[in-house]
Amino acid sequence: MIRIFITKLLFIVTFTIYGQNSTPFAIRSATSHVLYINCANSIAVTLLPPENALSAKLIIFRADNAVITMDSILKNTFFITIIPNETSPKLTLNAFDGTSLIGSEIFVVKYIPTPKIHLLTQGKQIDSKNGFYGIPKDLTIQAALNEDVQDLISVHPQYKITSFEIRFVKAGTELKKIQVKDNTIDLRTVKNIESAEYLIITINEIKLILPDGQLKNITFGNSILTVPISH
């Protein structure tokens, strides 16, 4: 028998193991029971009631297809980080008291949403619809989690743009095309672009910065920005 009591950000689950009720859990996270692939998901797990006889030092959390780190313990609450990989759409978090399983909880595993592209010049963000006044001295392209979902996702992934193409266009004619293997370019050294009316920017590659610092390609679709230039 499983009983589930749900509030906005608090999930209390009583497990039945071998015919007896095991220790109730309270799982707390900003995204309920959703974990994001290749991201550090912070979860708080509370053993209920506080006066239970289990020793916090003996509690171990395990899950297949994920890396779990115990961050800290506060009385009967465990703050853990879960980093799922891409092998399964669901993850089962198991809690052990020593070698005895005392409870399990299933999480849905999802890909992080597609990031939003931001343009900056001289460290200041610009509105791509309004564009530039004159050719900018430099151009930096950044990717970040869309503001519309920031309040819904507990993780804050970091991205790095590693390849983009920039075309300078006037009256439908391409003046110059540059391939950039970075997220920034110094435009002061680029010749014969002073009369350009548009910048057409194509993002070729975005990588997710994993919690261990490694970079992983993400699928983001075809991202093209047409930015006007006024003179």
Those residues whose C-beta lies under 8 Å from the C-beta of residue 83, and which sit 6 or more positions away, are 38, 39, 40, 41, 66, 67, 68, 69, 211
Residues 69 and 143 in one domain: no
Beta-bridge mates of residue 185:
139
Q: How far apart are CA 189 and CA 138, in angstroms?
A: 10
Question: What is the extent of the structural domain holding 99?
Answer: 3-110
With H, G, I as helix, E, B as strand and everything else as coil, classify residue 147: helix
**pLDDT of the chain along its 231 residues, tens only?**
333 232 333 333 333 333 334 555 666 655 568 899 999 888 888 876 554 556 667 788 999 999 999 999 887 788 999 999 888 899 999 988 888 888 888 899 998 888 989 999 999 999 888 999 999 999 999 999 887 776 667 678 899 999 999 999 999 999 999 999 999 999 998 999 999 999 999 999 999 999 889 999 888 776 899 999 998
Report CA dihedral (114, 223, 117, 87) to the nearest 10 degrees.
20
- The secondary structure of residue 99, as a DSSP letter, is T
Domain count, the chain: 2
pTM score: 0.74
70-103 pLDDT, tens digit each: 999 887 788 999 999 888 899 999 988 888 888 8
**In 7-114, alpha helices (H):** none
Domain end position, chosen among 88, 110, 132: 110
Strands 34-36 and 100-110: parallel
